[in-house]
Amino acid sequence: MDTRWDVIVIGAGAAGLTAGIYLGRARKKTLILDHGTVGGQMILTYAVANYPGVPESAGASIVQTMREQAEGVGCTVLGHADVVRFDLSGPEKVVEVDDEGTFTAPVVILATGGVPRRLGLPSEEAFQARGISYCATCDGDFFTDQDIVVIGGGNSALEEAVSLTKYASSVTVIHEFEEFQAQPWAVEEARKNPKVRFLTSQEVVEFAGEGTLSAVVTRDKRTGELLRTEASGAFLFIGYVPNTGWLEGVVALNERGEIVTDEDLRTNVLGVFAAGDARVKRYRQITTAVADGTVAALSAIHYLDELARAAA
């Protein structure tokens, strides 16, 4: 495999693959790496119903199409590629991948994504995409006229609880503390909604069901009593973890570990761009990741063309 590239994209989710499509069409020699399975969070999505122009499809199907498009315009895509060493400080960025070798490029696009924060229960893993969701916009309408729970106590949890009342018969908000961390207006709006009820000071101990979710078991932190709440869906909004721990001290991050960029998705390091869920942003959807990948790629193309003119 070649060692010298025009662009190395780290992350092969929606943002990274979209960037690759634009870069490849611009005849930029592009390597796309992902430490896991190509596709990022999309690969875990059972059904995507809000991607414009695409009928409801499995996330894996959309991933496969995006990968074929990127490879079709000349990109090399490597999954399960563990970056073991890197240096993004100089004009030539260096990325060493375990079992693959060392690659260099004047441009790197960081599209490392992130994951919703999880409770870490074994039963949580068992019911992922079988009743447990981390995205109300993606999955809310699958629970039309059903009883569901929302787990969390911040703005996202309460805002999404209200949003989910468009579909669900009832929404029970489960929070581990007595008081909510959400802004007062978010709490007030949720309390005013007749479909929303609240269980506070509750620690989730188990998700239960046969094949698909049917109940959430909690422990009252005041009394120790176990409570079983019947629900066919559970939406978790307890935070988001960007995959950026390895970038601390390398590019500018905010207090939540998100990559700071300008509107052209440039980081504070020359030649390094960021796209997708790892960067500072409010909304995280496949469509917003695709938009980021587009902007980052076009900015990278402009930067490479400037380098070429300067060298001529």
Q: CA angle, 57 as apex, 52 and 62 as ends, to 5°?
A: 75
Residue in 90, 34, 9 with CA at minimum distance from that of residue 273? 9
CB under 8 Å to 309, separation ≥6 — which residues? Answer: none
8 A C-beta contact, residue 236 and residue 152: yes
Residue 235: strand pairing partners:
133, 150
Does residue 138 carry a catalytic annotation? Answer: yes
Of the residues 135, 147, 264, 277, only one is catalytic, namely 135
Of the residues 6, 34, 139, 292, only one is catalytic, namely 139
Residue in 210, 207, 196, 256 with CA at minimum distance from that of residue 233? 207
Does residue 75 carry a catalytic annotation? Answer: no
Helix axes 286-311, 14-25, angle to 10 degrees: 40
55/196 Cα distance (integer angstroms): 31
Helix axes 14-25, 59-72, angle to 10 degrees: 20
Q: 69: which 2 tokens?
A: 């498009």
* Cα distances (angstroms) measured from residue 172 to each of 139, 152, 269: 17, 11, 45
8 A C-beta contact, residue 134 and residue 235: yes
Q: 300: which 2 tokens?
A: 């990278």
Does residue 277 carry a catalytic annotation? Answer: no
At which residue do the structure tokens 């059903």 appear?
A: 146
Q: 59: which 2 tokens?
A: 């996330």
The Cβ-side half-sphere exposure at 50, using a 13 Å CA radius, reads 13
**What are the backbone angles phi and psi of residue 76, rounded to the nearest 5°?**
-100, 125
Of the residues 138, 262, 264, 292, only one is catalytic, namely 138
Catalytic positions are 135, 138-139
